[in-house]
């Protein structure tokens, strides 16, 4: 599909700065956009990608400095909502889930490798590829255009949603969902929340293990990526467009908000919460129940909410535990000062 910038401007009400005849064939994030893509810029921390983006067109706010002449600007008050309207109009996928019943349903176009075991209640829809030595057990569901690599083990009740990619030697435990819709909603003028179609996918690279009841959301556009060797414990939430670096480990009940990037060889302990649109440096350790609200650029160990370097956090925690003693000491000092003042006044 190709759409002219003029058509997009007419749909959104944006003002064009540049060639209105430029044709758009895809949507992309600003840091991943290529020629023929349209992107958008609404948060200041993404402006760093503007000088190098290869997008053909971009939605921007009216006060944006249009210094490049090789890109078409679509100026509008709310680039985020304008981008959403383009998704809704031209790029919302239509899913075909025919064939779901109580028996194994394998579409004629599906490719099933050697040594595969397909259990009951499995749905392998059109375009699925299941690699050699893949084991698929009861109630495991694979939807359209899913690719699963060699020697990958999916336990019961695993769901791999449409267009997602799972690498080789991956283990996914029961109840885990790969490719659920990201938590994307936008309020309209009445304050009613409108769903933002999540048209990206999830890429699970080789040698990853996912515990039970893990939820990994598909990207709004582009991909949510779990890189090689990552190990994720039970009950972990990974939001849309998150990238987790190679050989990073996440413990139970951790949660990562949208578009955050976790570095390589990190350790994220239990019940850690990480805000959206931030980055965590390689070889960072985050202690249990910590909250990360800002980008961490220096590797090390962090603890607390908001998280601080571990030694600093422990010093602060030590002072907090001694607050009652500090209060008593202050009260005693105040009494002594009062006594001294009384003596001075009496002379």
CA distances (Å), 168 to each of 150, 151, 153, 293, in order? 5, 6, 9, 34
Cα distance between residue 192 and residue 317, in whole Å: 42
CA torsion through residues 193, 194, 195, 196, sign: negative
φ/ψ of 319, rounded to 5, equals: -65, -40
Tell me if residue 123 falls in helix, strand or coil. strand
CB 302 within 8 A of CB 292: yes
φ/ψ of 242, rounded to 5, equals: -75, 145
Quick check: is 240 catalytic? yes
Strand stretches in 84-234, DSSP E: 105-106, 111-112, 117-118, 123-124, 129-130, 135-136, 141-142, 147-148, 153-154, 159-160, 165-166, 171-172, 177-180, 185-187, 193-195, 201-204, 209-210, 215-217, 223-226, 231-232
Count of other CB atoms within 10 angstroms of residue 320:
9
Beta bridge partners of 195: 185
Catalytic residue among 107, 138, 173, 240: 240
Q: Show Cβ contacts of residue 186 under 8 Å, excluding neighbours closer than 6 positions.
A: 80, 81, 84, 193, 194, 196
Cα distance between residue 59 and residue 27, in whole Å: 11
* Active site amino acids: 240
């Amino acid at each position: 599909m190709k759409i002219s910038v003029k058509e997009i401007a007419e749909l959104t009400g944006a003002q064009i700065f540049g060639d209105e005849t430029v044709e758009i064939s895809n949507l992309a994030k600003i840091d991943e956009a290529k020629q023929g893509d349209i992107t958008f810029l609404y948060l200041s921390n993404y402006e760093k990608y503007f000088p190098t983006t290869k997008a053909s067109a971009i939605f921007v706010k009216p006060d944006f400095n249009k210094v490049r002449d090789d890109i078409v600007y679509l100026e509008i008050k709310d680039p985020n909502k304008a981008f959403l309207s383009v998704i809704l109009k031209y790029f919302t996928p239509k899913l075909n889930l025919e064939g779901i019943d109580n028996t194994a349903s394998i579409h004629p176009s599906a490719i099933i490798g050697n040594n595969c075991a397909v259990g009951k209640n499995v749905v392998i829809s059109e375009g699925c590829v299941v690699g050699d030595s893949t084991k698929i057990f009861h109630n495991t569901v694979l939807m359209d255009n899913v690719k699963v690599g060699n020697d990958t083990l999916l336990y019961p009740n695993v769901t791999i949603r449409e267009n997602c990619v799972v690498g080789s030697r991956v283990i996914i435990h029961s109840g885990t969902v790969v490719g659920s819709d990201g938590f994307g909603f936008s309020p309209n003028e009445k304050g009613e929340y409108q769903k933002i179609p999540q048209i990206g996918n999830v890429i699970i690279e080789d040698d990853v293990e996912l515990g039970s009841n893990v939820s990994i959301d598909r990207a709004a556009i582009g991909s949510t990526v779990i890189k090689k060797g990552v190990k994720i414990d039970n009950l972990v939430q990974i939001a849309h467009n998150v990238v987790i670096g190679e050989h990073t480990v996440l413990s139970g009940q951790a949660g990562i908000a949208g578009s955050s990037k976790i570095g390589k060889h990190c350790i994220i302990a239990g019940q850690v919460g990480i805000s959206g649109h931030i980055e965590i440096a390689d070889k960072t350790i985050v202690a249990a129940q910590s909250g990360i609200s800002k980008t961490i650029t220096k590797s090390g160990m962090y603890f607390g909410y908001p998280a601080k370097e571990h030694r600093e956090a422990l010093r602060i925690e030590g002072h907090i535990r001694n607050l009652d003693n500090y209060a008593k000491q202050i009260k005693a000092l105040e009494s002594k000062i009062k006594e001294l003042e009384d003596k001075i006044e009496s002379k």
